[in-house]
Chains A and B, each alone.
Chain A
Amino acid sequence: MIRLGVLATTALVLAASPALAEQKTIKIGFISTFSGPTAAIGNDMRNAFELGLDHLGRKLGGLPVEVIYEDDTQKPDVGVQKTQKLIESDHVDFIAGYIWSNVLLASLKPLVDSKTITVVTNAGASAFAGERCSPYVFSTSWQNDQTPEAMGMYMNQKGVKSVFLIGPNYAAGRDMLAGLKITYKGQVLGEEYTRWPDQLDFSTELSKARASGAESIFVFYPGGAGVQFITQYVQSGLKGQIPLYQGFTIDELSIPRLKDMALGIPGTQEWVNDLPNEANKKFVADYIAKYKLRPSYYGAQTYDAVSLLNSAVLAVNGDLSNKEGMRKAMEKADFKSVRGNFKFGNNHIPIQNFYLQDVVKQGDDYVLKTVATIVENDQDRFHDRCPMKLGE
C-alpha cells in the first residue's frame, strides 16, 4: 500500500511540474558542463550569460527571461537526453551552450527536428558547419579547424620545420589536428590521439614526441585536461627542449593553476581579453568586477550569444512564434560583438579575425596578451558543403 502511495505521488508530482509556459516570459535552455574537471568552463559560460542578461536588465527584446541550466556531464548520451528534456518537458524558446563537439553532434537531431533556435557558444564540429548545417542553428564561436589553421600559418611564419601532434580522440580533437595540417607546411612527424575524456596521463604520448625528434609539439586539450597536459609536459622536462604550440589548451581559466608553467607557450584565438573595442572593455571590466575572475573566450562567446538572441527578439517585436523572422534577423548579426568585426557565413559560422596570444607575467598576475593579428575575416573551409544561403 505504501508503495502504491509512493507511485501515485510520484506520478502526480511529475504531472504537475511541466506547467504551461506563460507567453510573456522567454525560456532559454542552457546546456554546458557543470561537473568534473571541465566544470570551470561551464561556470565561465554561465557567468557570462548571466552578465549579458544583467546588462540588458534581465530582458531580451523587452521580455523577461528565465534560464534553465542543464549539465551534460561531458557525455553525448546525457547531452542528448537533457536536450530532449529542455525541448519536450520545459518547452524552451531557445537553446544555447554546448561546449563539446560530440555532445552537440549527438543532440543535433532533436534540435533540428523541433526547429528550436539554437546558439552554439563553443562546439565547432565540422559536420554542422558543412552538411549538417541547419537554418535554426547558429554559432558564436568558430569551426574547429579555424583556430589551428591560424596556428599553422603562424608556425610557417616562424619557420618551424617539424611538428608532433597530440590531441584527444573525439570529433573536436580530430578536427583540431586536421586543421593544423591544412595550413602548416612543415613536416608532421607524428599524430597521437588519446582516449577522451578519461585519459589524463600523457606520459606515453610525450615519450613518443620526444622519441620522434620533432622540432615542436602542437597540442589541443581543453579544460582540466589542458592543465594536466601542460603540467606533465613541464614535469617530463620537455619544456626548454621542445617548444610547445597550443590551441584551447591554455586559457584564462587554466592560467591561475599553471602560473609559470604557461609562460612562453603561444596559442591562437579569435578573442583575447585585451581586444580594444568598447563592447569588450565593458564586458571584461564588469565580469572582473562581478566575479573577481577574468573571463575566457568561452565566456566571451557566450556573452555574444545573449546579444545575438536579443537582436532576434527585438526584430520580431517579441513575437516568439515568428521563428522565420527571428532567424533571418539573427543572420544579420546586428549586434556589437566583443571581438569587434562579426558577420555570419552562409552556414551560420562567424567570419572573424584570429590573433596570436601569449602568457605574460604582470606583477603577481598572469595574463593573456594579444601579440599579433594572424589572419583577418577568416571563413571556415566547410561553408561550401552547406547548401544554405544567407537571407533565405
Chain B
Amino acid sequence: MTASLDPTLVARPSLAFTPRTAFTAALLVILALFPLYSLVTGNTFVLTLFTRVLILAIGAVSLNLIMGYGGMVSFGHAAYLGIGGYAVGILAKEGIGSGFVQWPVAVAASALYALVVGALSLRTRGVYFIMITLAFAQMIYYVAIGLDRYGGDDGLTIYKRSDFAGLIDLNNKTLFYYLCFAILLASIYLISRLVNSRFGLAIRGTRSNERRMRAIGFPTVRYKLAAFVIAGALCGLAGALLANHTNFISPALMHWTRSGDLIVMVVLGGLGSLFGPVIGAVTFLLLQEGLSRFTEYPDLILGPILLLVAIYVHGGIGGLLEGRRGG
C-alpha cells in the first residue's frame, strides 16, 4: 500500500514546543498535582469534582476513537457509561462485590452491546448513523427504567465500592483519583498505539474516503466495527468507575443529553487529537461548574459558546490553540 500520508494524519504527540503542547503538558501537571492541593487545603469537594472530570475524559477519549479518528458520530455513547455502571450496581446488589468480577463484566457487557449496535448501525452512514446510535441508546435507557428490581427510574444506591481484596482501597479519595488518572493515561496510550498502527491508519483512511479504502482491499466495515467495540468497552470501564465514584447509578446517566455532553467534550477539545478529549472534558465541566458560581444563569453563556465553537472553530479548542480557523 503506497497511499501517501497527509502529515496531519500522523497522530503522534508532537514534542515541538507549540502553544498546544505547552497547554497540554501544563494541564497534565495540574491534574497530577491536584490531590496534593486538596490535601493541603482540606477541600475534598474539588477532588470529587476532578475525579468526575477524569472519568468523563476517559469516556470522551473512547468516543474520540470512533468519532475523531473514525468519523463515526455516535449519539448513543452514554449508553456504555450506563451499562458499565449498572454492571457494577447490579452485581453489587446481588452480593457480588468483588471488583475483579464487576469490572470485567462491565467491560464485556459494553463490548457486547457495542458489537450488536455496531453490526446493525454500521450499515448506515451520515445522519442516519447518528440517529440509529441514538435509537439504541434510548432502548437501553428504557430497559434501565424498566428494571424495577434495580430501582428503575429512581436509581440504585451502591453501598460498597468495588472490592479489590486489599490491592487498592477505592474508598480512599486520593487513591481513587490517581487510579482514574492512571486509567486515563493508559487509555490515551492505547488509543495512540491503535491509531498509529495499520489498523488505525485503515480507520482514518476510511474516514477520509471509504470507497477508496475498500477499493484497495480493506474490509472497512470489519475495521470500523472493531473500533466501535473497543470504544464501547473503554467507555464501559469509565461507567464502572463512575458508579463507584458516585455510589449511585440511575438511568439518567444514559439520557441522550448525556451523549450530547460527550460529543461536546470531544468536539470542544478537537476531533482526532490525542489529548483533545481531556482538554474538552476539563473545559466543559469546569465551564459548567465555574459559570454556575458566577451567575444564576450559566447556560446563557455556555450555550452561545457552544454555538460559536460550532460555527467558527475548526478543530475545537485544540484548533484554536494551533491557530487554525475557518473551514
Q: Measuring CB to CB, which residues of chain A are less than 8 angstroms from any residue of chain B?
A: 1-4, 6-7, 9-11, 13-15, 17-18, 75-77, 80-81, 84-85, 88-89, 102, 105-106, 108-110, 169-171, 195-196
A-B contact pairs, 20 of them (CB 8 A): A1-B321, A2-B320, A3-B23, A3-B279, A4-B23, A7-B283, A9-B290, A10-B289, A10-B290, A11-B30, A15-B46, A76-B155, A76-B250, A80-B248, A84-B48, A85-B45, A102-B153, A171-B154, A195-B153, A196-B153
Residues 24-60 of B contacting A (Cβ, < 8 Å)? 26-27, 30, 37, 41, 43-46, 48-49
By secondary structure, the A interface counts as helix
Question: Do A3 and B253 touch across chains, with their CB atoms under 8 A apart?
Answer: no
Question: Do B41 and A15 touch across chains, with their CB atoms under 8 A apart?
Answer: yes
Of all chain B residues, the one with the shortest Cβ separation from A103 is: B154
Known: A18-B43, A77-B250, A106-B157. A13 touches B317 (CB 8 A): no
Question: Do A18 and B294 touch across chains, with their CB atoms under 8 A apart?
Answer: no
B144-187 vs A, Cβ < 8 Å mask (1 yes, 0 no): 00000000111101010000000000000000000000000000
Candidates B154, B246, B247; contact of A102 at CB < 8 Å: B154
Of all chain A residues, the one with the shortest Cβ separation from B148 is: A169
Given contact pairs A3-B23, A89-B43, a sample of 12 additional A-B residue pairs in the complex whose CB atoms are under 8 Å apart: A4-B23, A6-B283, A11-B30, A15-B37, A75-B252, A76-B153, A76-B252, A77-B155, A77-B248, A88-B44, A106-B154, A106-B157
Of all chain B residues, the one with the shortest Cβ separation from A174 is: B148
Question: Do B287 and A10 touch across chains, with their CB atoms under 8 A apart?
Answer: yes
Closest 4 CB pairs of A and B: A89-B45, A102-B154, A10-B290, A88-B45
Question: Do A109 and B27 touch across chains, with their CB atoms under 8 A apart?
Answer: no
Question: Do B48 and A88 touch across chains, with their CB atoms under 8 A apart?
Answer: yes
Candidates A15, A80, A195; contact of B246 at CB < 8 Å: A80
Distance of B315 from chain A, by nearest CB (Å): 13
> Considering residues B19, B153, B283, which has the most beta carbons from chain A within 10 angstroms of its beta carbon?
B153
Q: Which residues of B lie under 8 Å from residue A1 when comparing CB positions? A: 19, 321
Whole-angstrom CA separation of A2 from B44 in the bound complex: 28
Whole-angstrom CA separation of A102 from B48 in the bound complex: 23
Q: Does B282 contact A (CB under 8 A)?
A: yes
Q: Which residues of A lie under 8 Å from residue B153 when comparing CB positions? A: 76, 102, 169-170, 195-196
Question: Do A14 and B293 touch across chains, with their CB atoms under 8 A apart?
Answer: yes
Whole-angstrom CA separation of A169 from B253 in the bound complex: 20
Q: Which residues of A lie under 8 Å from residue B46 when comparing CB positions? A: 14-15
Q: Does B286 contact A (CB under 8 A)?
A: yes
Question: Do A105 and B293 touch across chains, with their CB atoms under 8 A apart?
Answer: no
Residues 237-275 of B contacting A (Cβ, < 8 Å)? 246-248, 250, 252-253
Distance of B70 from chain A, by nearest CB (Å): 26
Question: Do B293 and A17 touch across chains, with their CB atoms under 8 A apart?
Answer: yes
Known: A75-B252, A77-B252. A108 touches B157 (CB 8 A): yes
Question: Do B155 and A3 touch across chains, with their CB atoms under 8 A apart?
Answer: no
Question: Do A3 and B248 touch across chains, with their CB atoms under 8 A apart?
Answer: no
Whole-angstrom CA separation of A109 from B158 in the bound complex: 9
Known: A7-B282, A88-B48. A109 touches B247 (CB 8 A): yes
Distance of B142 from chain A, by nearest CB (Å): 11
Q: Which residues of B lie under 8 Å from residue A2 when comparing CB positions? A: 320
Q: Which residues of A lie under 8 Å from residue B286 when comparing CB positions? A: 7, 10-11, 14
Q: Which residues of B lie under 8 Å from residue A14 when comparing CB positions? A: 46, 49, 286, 289-290, 293
Question: Do A13 and B294 touch across chains, with their CB atoms under 8 A apart?
Answer: yes
Question: Do B157 and A109 touch across chains, with their CB atoms under 8 A apart?
Answer: yes
Distance of A90 from chain B, by nearest CB (Å): 9
Q: Which residues of A lie under 8 Å from residue B154 when comparing CB positions? A: 76, 102, 105-106, 170-171
Q: Which residues of A lie under 8 Å from residue B44 when comparing CB positions? A: 88
Of all chain A residues, the one with the shortest Cβ separation from B44 is: A88
Whole-angstrom CA separation of A106 from B151 in the bound complex: 10
Question: Do B48 and A4 touch across chains, with their CB atoms under 8 A apart?
Answer: no
Distance of A15 from chain B, by nearest CB (Å): 7
Known: A13-B293, A80-B248. A18 touches B30 (CB 8 A): no
Q: Which residues of A lie under 8 Å from residue B30 when comparing CB positions? A: 11
Q: Which residues of A lie under 8 Å from residue B287 when comparing CB positions? A: 10
Known: A102-B154, A105-B154, A105-B157. A3 touches B317 (CB 8 A): yes
Of all chain B residues, the one with the shortest Cβ separation from A101 is: B154
Of all chain A residues, the one with the shortest Cβ separation from B291 is: A10
Distance of A139 from chain B, by nearest CB (Å): 19
Q: Which residues of B lie under 8 Å from residue A110 when comparing CB positions? A: 247
Whole-angstrom CA separation of A11 from B290 in the bound complex: 8
Q: Which residues of A lie under 8 Å from residue B247 when comparing CB positions? A: 109-110
Q: Which residues of B lie under 8 Å from residue A17 when comparing CB positions? A: 293
Distance of A359 from chain B, by nearest CB (Å): 32
Whole-angstrom CA separation of A196 from B153 in the bound complex: 8
Question: Do B289 and A4 touch across chains, with their CB atoms under 8 A apart?
Answer: no
Q: Which residues of B lie under 8 Å from residue A76 when comparing CB positions? A: 153-155, 248, 250, 252
Question: Do B155 and A106 touch across chains, with their CB atoms under 8 A apart?
Answer: yes
Q: Which residues of B lie under 8 Å from residue A85 when comparing CB positions? A: 45
Residues 273-327 of B contacting A (Cβ, < 8 Å)? 279, 282-283, 286-287, 289-290, 293-294, 317, 320-321
Distance of B191 from chain A, by nearest CB (Å): 22
Q: Which residues of B lie under 8 Å from residue A195 when comparing CB positions? A: 153
Question: Do A106 and B250 touch across chains, with their CB atoms under 8 A apart?
Answer: yes
Q: Which residues of B lie under 8 Å from residue A88 when comparing CB positions? A: 44-45, 48
Question: Do A13 and B248 touch across chains, with their CB atoms under 8 A apart?
Answer: no
Q: Which residues of A lie under 8 Å from residue B48 when comparing CB positions? A: 84, 88
Question: Do B283 and A3 touch across chains, with their CB atoms under 8 A apart?
Answer: yes
Q: Which residues of A lie under 8 Å from residue B250 when comparing CB positions? A: 76-77, 106
Whole-angstrom CA separation of A169 from B145 in the bound complex: 11
Distance of B171 from chain A, by nearest CB (Å): 10
Q: Which residues of A lie under 8 Å from residue B157 when comparing CB positions? A: 105-106, 108-109
Q: Which residues of A lie under 8 Å from residue B317 when comparing CB positions? A: 3
Distance of B212 from chain A, by nearest CB (Å): 36
